[in-house]
């Protein structure tokens, strides 16, 4: 077989930094492990379960927010950036968790939310008490309203969580006053990042956590911190992605000035040893656009959302993989790969929906799109088998190694995502991917804690996905992930040269990653496998046939 596209000539020789090839496991602290039994996961719970992650074979963990917060948006509304919310423990608990992780050879990345703060942040409370035009208000985006008496918002922007993006305040004298901008919930006020005081404040936040020993930061809404001058009106397309991933010109997403922020942060991280890293959550329409965030003097990684949102289609996947392996190495950065996270429908459900995936809306019992469970899991296992063979860094979201599907049947009165409330129950939101994960089938809350409490209800099917059940099954999804990570490391696939292979049907992905041949059958008919030892297969094989929705790694014959 010959090469139709050799990306190896486009991939810059990788450096020695750990983040170039790391497999990073996302922990959503609320739902990972609960040590005190209150129904909400915590830092001591994470510490107690780190050995399991070491056994899985990951290189680093990324913790979603655990900082002080009123929890209006599950911690993405931060009231104090330099302390741990009592819900999750203490700074001592964080230090103990960090020490345990480092002792196991696991690096730790923390979530940073710089676009906005909670309305309970001391700065915002000072802004409310201060007068229009004051230095306190200049830290946020306050504007006078339109209309005869300022009764209309400054522009027509719509919040990601539904409704308008502006909230009017009551001034100290009790009269209606200015409006403040909130891209997300009304309790999440956007900072004004043109203000030097805001810039210096976050340099201090970075140093606080770097001094404690963290290995890097995942930056929330990294493409939203600068707004277009003049705040012009903008109406998104009716079927558009609310996070801006399908639009090139949104006045509050992807503005050029944001890059100066990350050049500044890059210098702060360079003050520390140990290859500290910044990873951008930047929803952008193409790998080329995303690569602008990881030029040599900016961030080190950016989530590859174009890859995450690609359908289970061989041509589409070939395109996004090729584009990624061209765009990211062209600026000296690793490609990154991700299939699930705390904001999207789990890929064990998303890859086999009966209708188009409603990105940003979630799915529930009345959604048009419903998952086909067995097909979804089969495709998810194959998709992960492809992903973990690709050069660069990969992200795993807690529970996907157990094959967890999206939870559909959450009772209406148990839902907690702000999207559910701000859209008058029209959009389900993200609760379905955030349900606490199962550890032991026969334990209270499936081992999430010892009391049976759970901040979101766990479905009965969690028993079959519990880690202790899957540990006893050599064909389980946990066994597959563990084996994939072992072989990935043994063959150095994170830094391997990549070459497409031809001679296969259009519905088949086939490539060489280093000394491993990877074949994924996205068609409907089984295909013959070439010679070579089967290193890993996403499903059991019969003879030398690769069934539909199955992927395999082969060693040279």
pLDDT digits over 490-524, tens only? 999 999 999 999 999 999 999 999 999 999 999 99
Residue 13's pLDDT band (cuts 50, 70, 90): very low
Q: What is the DSSP string of 4-31?
A: S--GGGGSPPP-S-GGGT-EEEEE-GGG
Residue 353: what are its φ and ψ, rounded to 5°?
Answer: -90, 150
* Mean pLDDT on 26-40: 98
Give the pLDDT of residue 242. Answer: 61
Contact 392, 338 (CB under 8 A): no
Please state the rounded mean pLDDT for residues 31-48. Answer: 98
The yes-or-no answer on residue 271 being catalytic is: yes
Say if CB 111 and CB 204 are below 8 A apart: no
Residue with tokens 């086999």: 352
| pTM reported for the whole predicted model | 0.93
Measured between its terminal Cα atoms, the distance across the chain in Å is: 14
Cα(169)–Cα(154) distance, integer angstroms: 13
- C-alpha to C-alpha distance for 62 and 477, rounded to whole angstroms: 21
One of 144, 200, 271, 426 is an active-site residue; which one? 271
Q: Closest by alpha carbon to 202, among 103, 135, 314, 278?
A: 278
**Strand ordering across the sheet containing 142-143:** 142-143, 176-181, 166-170
Assign 111 to helix, strand or coil. strand
Catalytic residue among 42, 185, 220, 361: 220
**CA atoms of 161 and 241, how far apart (whole Å):** 12
- C-alpha 336/C-alpha 462 separation (Å) is 29
What is residue 204's predicted lDDT score, i.e. its pLDDT? 98
* pLDDT for the residue 243: 62
pLDDT at 359: 78
**pLDDT for 358:** 84
Q: What angle do CA 136, 137, 142 make, to 5 degrees?
A: 175
Contact call for residues 312 and 379 (beta carbons, < 8 A): yes
Q: How far apart are CA 462 and CA 477, in angstroms?
A: 14
- Separation CA 230–CA 194 (nearest Å): 13
* The pLDDT of residue 165: 97
Rounded to an integer, the average pLDDT of 279-292 is: 90
pLDDT band at 478 (very low <50, low <70, confident <90, very high): very high
d(CA 248, CA 223): 12
Q: What is the pLDDT at residue 283?
A: 82
Task: Please name which of 385, 419, 378, 427 lies closest in space to residue 535, comparing C-alpha atoms.
Answer: 385
The residues, ordered by sequence, that sit 6+ positions from 236 with a Cβ below 8 Å of its Cβ are 158, 242, 247, 250
Mean pLDDT computed over 154-162: 93
Q: How confident is the model at residue 237 (pLDDT cuts 50, 70, 90)?
A: confident
Mean pLDDT of the 551-555 span: 98
Residue recorded with tokens 């990324």 = 62
Q: For the residues 454-469, what does the mean pLDDT come to?
A: 98
What's the whole-number average pLDDT of the chain?
94
| Selected residue with higher pLDDT from 273 and 378 | 378
> Which are the contacts of 151, defined by CB distance < 8 A and separation ≥ 6?
145, 168, 176
Contact (CB, 8 A) for 154 and 231: yes
Q: How far is CA 83 from CA 94, 201, 539, in A?
A: 10, 15, 45
Whether 240 shows a pLDDT value over 80: the answer reads: no
Kindly tell me if the per-residue pLDDT of 480 is higher than 80: yes
What's the pLDDT at 384? 98
Are 190 and 115 in contact by the 8 Å Cβ rule? The answer is yes
Render pLDDT for 177-236 as a digit per residue (tens, 0 to 9).
Answer: 999 999 999 999 999 999 999 999 999 999 999 999 999 999 999 999 999 999 999 998
Q: What is the average pLDDT across 106-127?
A: 98
């Amino acid at each position: 077989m010959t090469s139709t596209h050799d990306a190896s000539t486009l991939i810059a020789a990788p450096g020695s930094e750990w983040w170039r090839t790391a497999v990073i496991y996302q922990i959503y602290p609320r739902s990972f492990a609960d040590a005190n039994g209150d129904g909400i996961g915590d830092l001591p719970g994470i510490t107690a379960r780190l050995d399991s992650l070491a056994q899985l074979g990951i290189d680093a963990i990324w913790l979603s927010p655990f900082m002080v917060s009123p929890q209006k948006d599950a911690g993405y509304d931060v009231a104090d950036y330099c302390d741990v919310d009592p819900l999750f423990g203490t700074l001592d608990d964080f230090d103990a968790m960090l020490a345990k992780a480092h002792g196991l050879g696991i690096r730790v990345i923390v979530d940073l939310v710089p676009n906005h703060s909670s309305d309970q942040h001391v700065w915002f409370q000072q802004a409310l008490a201060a007068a229009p035009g004051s230095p306190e208000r200049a830290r946020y985006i306050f504007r006078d309203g339109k209309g005869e008496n300022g009764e209309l918002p400054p522009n027509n922007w719509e919040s990601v969580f539904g409704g308008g993006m502006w909230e009017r305040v009551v001034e100290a004298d009790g009269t209606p006053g200015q409006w403040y901008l909130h891209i997300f919930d009304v309790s999440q006020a956007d900072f004004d990042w043109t203000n030097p005081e805001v810039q210096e404040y976050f340099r201090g936040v970075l140093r606080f956590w770097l001094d404690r020993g963290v290995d890097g930061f995942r930056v929330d809404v990294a493409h939203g911190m600068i707004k277009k001058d003049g705040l012009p009106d903008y109406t998104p397309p009716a079927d558009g992605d609310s996070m801006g991933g399908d639009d090139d010109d949104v006045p509050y997403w992807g503005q050029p000035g944001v890059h100066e922020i990350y050049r500044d942060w890059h210098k702060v991280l360079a003050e520390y040893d140990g290859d500290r890293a910044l990873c951008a959550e930047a929803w952008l329409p193409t790998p080329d656009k995303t690569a602008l965030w990881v030029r040599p003097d900016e961030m080190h990684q950016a989530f590859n959302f174009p890859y995450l949102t690609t359908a289970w289609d061989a041509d589409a996947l070939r395109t996004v993989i090729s584009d990624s392996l061209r765009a990211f190495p062209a600026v000296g950065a690793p490609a990154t790969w991700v299939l699930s996270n705390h904001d999207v429908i789990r890929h064990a459900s998303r890859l086999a929906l009966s209708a188009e995936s409603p990105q940003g809306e979630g799915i529930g019992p009345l959604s048009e799109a419903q998952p086909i469970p067995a097909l979804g899991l089969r495709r998810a296992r194959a998709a992960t088998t492809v992903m973990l063979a690709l050069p660069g860094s990969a992200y795993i979201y807690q529970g996907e190694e157990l094959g967890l599907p999206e939870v559909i049947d959450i009772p209406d009165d148990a839902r907690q995502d702000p999207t559910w409330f701000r859209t008058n129950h029209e959009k389900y939101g993200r609760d379905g991917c955030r349900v606490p994960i199962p550890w032991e089938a026969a334990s209270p809350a499936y081992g999430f804690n010892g009391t049976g409490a759970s901040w979101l209800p766990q479905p009965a099917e969690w028993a079959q996905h519990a880690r202790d059940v899957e540990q006893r099954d050599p064909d389980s999804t946990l066994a597959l992930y563990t084996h994939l990570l072992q072989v990935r490391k043994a063959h150095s696939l994170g830094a391997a040269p990549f070459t497409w292979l031809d001679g296969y049907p259009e519905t088949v992905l086939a490539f060489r990653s280093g000394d491993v041949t990877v074949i994924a059958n996205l068609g409907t008919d089984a295909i013959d496998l070439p010679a070579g030892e089967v290193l890993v297969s996403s499903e059991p094989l019969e003879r030398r046939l690769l069934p539909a929705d199955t992927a395999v790694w082969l060693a040279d014959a």
